[in-house]
A and B are shown apart, each in its own frame.
Chain A
C-alpha cells in the first residue's frame, strides 16, 4: 500500500508544527523521517495514523482519500516511542488486542499471536507482563502488536529512542530483516541520522514543519539541499565569506569555485566535511600550508584542528592508519586542500 500526503498542515496556536507537506511513499518502501526534535516529524506520522487531524491537506492510502478516516479504517500499524504496551495485560493479550476488538475467533487469535511471537523471537514469553520484559523485548512486542491485525502500513515513532546503543543496533538489523520478509510499506521517525542512513532506502528530512530534502542517504549526504541539511547531516565545517569575482570566492588562503550565476559581493556560506579535507605532510599540489593546533582522537579517525593563519581554523578528519603513517603531530606543519564543498547564498534571514 502506498502513502501519499498533499499539502498537509497542522498548526498549534500559531505554531507551525507541520506546514504544507507533500510526499509519496511507494508500496514496499522503507523510509525514514529525519529531523531534530520539534521539526514536526512525529506530528506528520501521527496524522498519517489518524492520531491527529490535519488543519488542511489530504492523506491518501493506496490511492484512497483517508484524511478523516477513523484509525480502524486506515488499517495502519503504529509503534509508539515508549511502546505504550498495555501494562495490565500479558504479552499474549497485548498482541491479541487488535484481533479481539475486531471480534476474531479465539482459534484464529491463538494462531496469529503464536505466529508473531515466533517472528519476534519471544515464544514462551506470552504469559509475562510488560514490566517483566527488557526494553528491547518490549519494543518487539509493540511491533508484534501493531502487526497482528495485518496492517498495510507500519509506522514507527522513534522506535529505538529509549534503548541503549547495543540494543538499538540489534533492533535496527531486526527491523531491516522484518521489512525484507514482510515487504510492508514502512515509515519511521528518528532524530538519529546514522540510524536513518543505515536502515532506510529513502530519507525525508524535516525542519520547522517542512520537508527540506527527500532523497536516498547518498544524495542527502553528498548533495545537501539546504544550509540546514548541510550542518544537520554529518559533521561539517562552515565558513562565511562573499563572492569576490565571477565564479570565485576566497577565504583565507583557500579559493572556492562558485556558481557563475552568483553576483560579485553576494554573501555566501560554504560547508565542507572534515573528511573532505585532504591533508599531507609534504606539499603535493594546490594545497595550503597549515599548522596542527589540536588533535582529538575519535576511534577510527583522528580529528585535527588546523590553523591556516589570519586567526582562521578548519577541522579535518583523517583515518587513523593514514594519520599515524604520515606522522602528524600537534604543532607540526602540514598541507591541506578541501576536496568537496557546498555553497549556499546567505539570505536576509541567514
Chain B
C-alpha cells in the first residue's frame, strides 16, 4: 500500500507522524496490552470467566437496564426535541442549554444525587415507597441512572434533523389533503427514523459502559444489582487479573461493535456525532 499524501499543503509528515504516535501510545498499545493479557488464558478458561453465573447476571442487568433507559430516552427525547424546535414557550433557551447537563455533570455527582433523591427517605423515594416501588438499590435505580446519562443523545441527534426538515414537505402533505396526525406520523416521523435510531443507539452504547452514576444507586449486590463494569473493578481489587481482563475484552468487543454499527448508521444518515 502506498502511504503517501496527495495534498499540496505542507505539514503532512509532521501532523500524521504525531497523530499516529499519539494514537498508538495512548490508545492502541494499551488496548493491545488488554488483548495480549487475555491471550495468556486458554479458550476454556476465558469462556469460563466470561460466562460464570455472576457475570451472566451482570450482563443481563447491564444490557437490560441500558435498553430500557435508551427506550425511555427515545420516547421522551423525541418529545423534548420536538417541543424545543417547534414550539415557543418561556424559558426555552434555558431548557435547551440544560439538556446537556448529563454530559457536563460528573458521573459521581449524578450517582450520589440520584441515590439521595430515590432513597426511601429522599424527595422522590419518599413518594414512591408507599406505592411499593423501591428505586434505590434495585434494578429500577440502575435504569434511572442510565436514563439520566443517556438523556442528551436522542434530543441532540434529533434537533438538527428536525430543524433542517423542509417545511415544503409538510405543506405538500397538507395540500394533498393530509390531516396533521397523518402528516406527523406518516411524513415527519419516518424522516426522523434514522436519526432517532442513531440517537437511541448512542444512548445505549453510553449506558452499557457507564459506571460512576450507577454504582451509588445500584446497591451492587452480586447476581442482583451488580453491573458488568463494576465486576471488572471488583475482580481487580481481588487481584483476579484473569477475570478482569476477560470481562474487559468482552466489553471492548461490544463497544467496538456498537461503534462500528453507529458509524455505519451515521454514514447512511449523515447525522453528525455528538458528545
Residues on B with C-beta less than 8 A from A53 are 6, 8
Within 8 A of A (CB), among B1-32: 6, 8
Residues on A with C-beta less than 8 A from B6 are 12, 53
Residues on B with C-beta less than 8 A from A50 are 8
A53–B8 Cα distance when bound, in Å, is: 7
A52 within 8 A of B: yes
A1-31: contact bitstring with B at CB < 8 Å (1 yes, 0 no)? 0000000000010000000000000000000
For B10, the closest partner residue in chain A by CB is A70
A53–B10 Cα distance when bound, in Å, is: 13
A51 within 8 A of B: yes
B226 CB to closest chain A CB (Å) equals 52
B binding-site residues for A, Cβ under 8 Å: 6, 8
Residues on B with C-beta less than 8 A from A12 are 6
A52–B9 Cα distance when bound, in Å, is: 9
For A51, the closest partner residue in chain B by CB is B8
B2 CB to closest chain A CB (Å) equals 11
For B9, the closest partner residue in chain A by CB is A51
A binding-site residues for B, Cβ under 8 Å: 12, 50-53
A50–B6 Cα distance when bound, in Å, is: 13
A305–B52 Cα distance when bound, in Å, is: 84
Residues on B with C-beta less than 8 A from A52 are 8
A193–B61 Cα distance when bound, in Å, is: 69
Residues on B with C-beta less than 8 A from A51 are 8
Q: What are the 6 closest A-B residue pairs judged by CB atoms, nearest first?
A: A51-B8, A52-B8, A53-B8, A50-B8, A12-B6, A53-B6
* Main DSSP-derived SS at the B contact region: loop
B13 CB to closest chain A CB (Å) equals 15
A286–B112 Cα distance when bound, in Å, is: 100
A51–B8 Cα distance when bound, in Å, is: 6
A52–B8 Cα distance when bound, in Å, is: 6
A51–B7 Cα distance when bound, in Å, is: 8
A50–B8 Cα distance when bound, in Å, is: 8
A12–B8 Cα distance when bound, in Å, is: 14
A53–B6 Cα distance when bound, in Å, is: 8
A178–B253 Cα distance when bound, in Å, is: 64
A12–B7 Cα distance when bound, in Å, is: 12
For A50, the closest partner residue in chain B by CB is B8
For B8, the closest partner residue in chain A by CB is A51
Residues on A with C-beta less than 8 A from B8 are 50-53
A30–B6 Cα distance when bound, in Å, is: 31
A15 CB to closest chain B CB (Å) equals 13
A196 CB to closest chain B CB (Å) equals 27
A12–B6 Cα distance when bound, in Å, is: 9
A52–B6 Cα distance when bound, in Å, is: 8
A324–B59 Cα distance when bound, in Å, is: 87
B46 CB to closest chain A CB (Å) equals 43
For A49, the closest partner residue in chain B by CB is B8
A-B contact pairs, 6 of them (CB 8 A): A12-B6, A50-B8, A51-B8, A52-B8, A53-B6, A53-B8
A295 CB to closest chain B CB (Å) equals 35
B172 CB to closest chain A CB (Å) equals 29
B5 CB to closest chain A CB (Å) equals 10
A71–B8 Cα distance when bound, in Å, is: 10
B3 CB to closest chain A CB (Å) equals 15
For A13, the closest partner residue in chain B by CB is B6
A144–B242 Cα distance when bound, in Å, is: 69
A49–B6 Cα distance when bound, in Å, is: 16
B4 CB to closest chain A CB (Å) equals 11
A50–B10 Cα distance when bound, in Å, is: 12
For A10, the closest partner residue in chain B by CB is B6
B10 CB to closest chain A CB (Å) equals 9
A18 CB to closest chain B CB (Å) equals 14
B225 CB to closest chain A CB (Å) equals 54
A189 CB to closest chain B CB (Å) equals 18
B179 CB to closest chain A CB (Å) equals 41
A17 CB to closest chain B CB (Å) equals 12
B69 CB to closest chain A CB (Å) equals 43
A129–B33 Cα distance when bound, in Å, is: 53
A10–B6 Cα distance when bound, in Å, is: 11
For A52, the closest partner residue in chain B by CB is B8
A53–B5 Cα distance when bound, in Å, is: 11
A110 CB to closest chain B CB (Å) equals 30
B170 CB to closest chain A CB (Å) equals 31
B14 CB to closest chain A CB (Å) equals 17
A68–B65 Cα distance when bound, in Å, is: 61
